[in-house]
Amino acid sequence: MNANKAELQKEVAYKTSRSGGKGGQNVNKVSTKVELLFSVDDSSLFNEDEKQLIKGRLQSRFNKDGFVQVVCDEERSQYLNKEKALEKLIGLLTKAMQVDKPRKPTKVSRSVKAARAENKRQQSAKKESRKRNYDY
């Protein structure tokens, strides 16, 4: 990804709200939960092909307004939650931009097939020797 943290932070919007969980009375008073919103369409960090790739891969992360949404309420401070949410977004964008290598189909080699057949033959012989011959 060609975007660094500072450039990405300029294009991100934050929403804060009160968070549940640990924190005691702090939870009831301070808005520590952070919701990060990022518009892929309005971003100047990516070209059109990259935007299409990101849209396809992060389709489940888009909200109804067309923003990529990342929520973080793990920490007790709003600042740390903003940092974590930004790191999550960077991870998502980086993963979405990776192009998978095409798989090269390969065949099972002759020696592996021979070894498998030999192993099966030995197993068969072992089981055959355990059988009892009943003469009625």
| Separation of alpha carbons 84 and 73, rounded Å | 9
Per-residue model confidence (pLDDT) at position 42? 83
pLDDT confidence of residue 131: 84
pLDDT at 122: 96
- Per DSSP, what are the bridge partners of residue 34? 16, 72
Residue 36, number of CB atoms within 10 A of its CB: 22
The pLDDT value given to residue 84: 92
pLDDT computed for residue 23 by the predictor: 63
| CATH for the 5-97 domain, from 3.30.160.20, 3.10.520.10, 3.90.320.10, 3.40.50.620 | 3.30.160.20
Alpha helices in the chain (DSSP H): 5-10, 25-29, 48-57, 78-97, 110-130
Those residues of the chain that have pLDDT short of 70 are 1-3, 21-24, 27, 135-136
Q: What is the residue extent of each domain of the chain?
A: 5-97
pTM: 0.66
* Backbone CA torsion sign across 19, 71, 80, 82: negative
